[in-house]
Structure 1
Amino acid sequence: MNKDAMDVEAAVLAFTHAPIGLAVTRDRVIERCNARFCETFGYAECELPRRSLALLYPSHEEFLRIGEIGMRRMRATGRYADERIMQRRDGSLFWCRVRGQSLTPETPFERAVWSFADISESRPVVDLTARERQVAALLAEGRTSKEIARALDLSPRTAEAHRAKLQAKLGARNTAELVARLTGLPM
């Protein structure tokens, strides 16, 4: 076997058997994915190719909103990373660490490679509204209530009210404890 063939074989093995979910997408539609990706979301491998990533979000609105954010970041750097709540086939929600790399920087979603890691063991999932999930994700990034209000086009009081609801739902006594619970850090 020549070196090029060995390199191709190694790349296929790495993609297929990676210990993290991997997907290659074209315009946010799954072209290829590995077994861990399918396992993470509760699908058989043959079910996901040619399906939109929207299938894996809690709502179509979140798919669109995160897509807009991702597009802006990927246009600037060619990469995207966040932690967000995703949805399994059975409808259950879980925290997921998502990383993406565009293969076409001028049109970031045209072709991209993504990794998806289930981080729900270290981060609680509670019944949150879509807006609470948005606020939780921004809090987990370390944003202040004022920054969250600007990012979501809310009044600062409304952002504070969402933060207070999150504290109550997660049983956190203060913002530091809330962020620790959202990020899975030990207290």
Structure 2
Amino acid sequence: MRFALADIPVPMVFATHRIIRDCNGEFAALFGFVRAELIDQSFSRLYPALADFVRTGQMWRSHLPGGQVYYDERIMEGAGGRRFWCRVNGRSRHGVDPFAEALYCFEPMNRPVTEATVTGRQRQILTLVAQGKTNAAIAAEIGLSKRTIEAHRLRMMRSIGVRNTAELVAWFSASYHRQDPPGAI
């Protein structure tokens, strides 16, 4: 049995070279759009800043070879500038060019976007730390050195006022806890 994208009850999107070619109503609603407004649009439209779009693309290009599933957690931006956290799972159909044809599932997360004193890169690192990844694994995933990751973590811990990784993750979880964003199930 085969299902059309429109029949899938979770936010799903099919893209070629990071251009939305098809999506279901749930995906469009998550971002506050109707489906037709997103077809043939760049994913860059759904990121808070172009730098976030570029950084995410670099990370996915190196971690989404054909057939493998990759995921991350990130802040996205919907209609009217509404920002929200979501987990994105993706799979490419091409081994050489992971963006040639890819399918993505977006899952809204129960984590608010705050105006914390962390940079976009630090927020990216915090998200990976909260997933239980080591400095070495984070460095390999985002293309930085292990020492750079350690330096970012140390600066965050000092600025936030925590003493260890457990407190850092607890701060991150507490700081980013609220009710589900609009469109969440």
**Superposition TM-score, scaled by structure 1 size:** 0.76
Aligned length: 169
Q: 2:13 aligns with which of 11, 18, 23?
A: 23
Report the equivalent of 1:177.
170
Q: For 1:81 and 1:47, how far apart are their aligned partners in 2?
A: 25
Q: Identify unmatched segments of 5+ residues in structure 1.
A: 1-6
> Over aligned residues, Cα RMSD in angstroms?
2.9
1:161 aligned partner, one-letter code: R
The residue that corresponds to 1:100 in the other structure is 90
TM-score scaled by structure 2?
0.77
How far, CA to CA, are the matches of 2:106 and 2:94 in structure 1? Answer: 20
Q: What is residue 125 of structure 1 aligned with on the other side?
A: 113
Q: Does the CA-based 8 Å contact 2:67-2:92 persist in structure 1?
A: no
CA contact (8 A) 2:114 2:176 kept: no
Query: Residue 161 of structure 1 aligns with which residue?
Result: 155
When residues 182 and 112 of structure 1 are mapped into structure 2, their CA distance, relative to the original with a 3 A threshold, is: farther
2:62 is aligned with 1:69: no
Secondary structure of 2:80's partner? coil
Partner-residue secondary structure (3-state), 1:143 = coil
Mapped contact 1:145–1:159 kept (Cα < 8 A): no
What is the distance in 2 between the residues matched to 1:145 and 1:166? 19
Rounded Cα–Cα distance in structure 2 between residues aligned with 1:21 and 1:103: 19
Between 1:173-182 and 1:129-138, the stretch displaced more is 173-182
Higher helix share: 1
* Secondary structure of 1:113's aligned partner: strand
Residues 150-159 or 85-94, more deviating: 150-159
CA shift, 1:78, in A, is 2.8
SS in 2 for 1:90: helix
Q: Deviation at 1:36?
A: 0.5
Query: 2 CA distance for matches of 1:45 and 1:91?
Result: 18
* Amino acid across the alignment from 2:114: V
**Within 1, Cα distance between the matches of 2:28 and 2:169?**
35
**Structure 2: tracts of 5 or more residues without a match:** 178-185
User: Do the aligned partners of 2:66 and 2:91 also contact (CA within 8 Å) in 1?
Assistant: no
Q: 1:20-68 CA distances to partner (integer Å, 9 max, x unpaired)?
A: 1111000010000000000001111111011111111111111111111
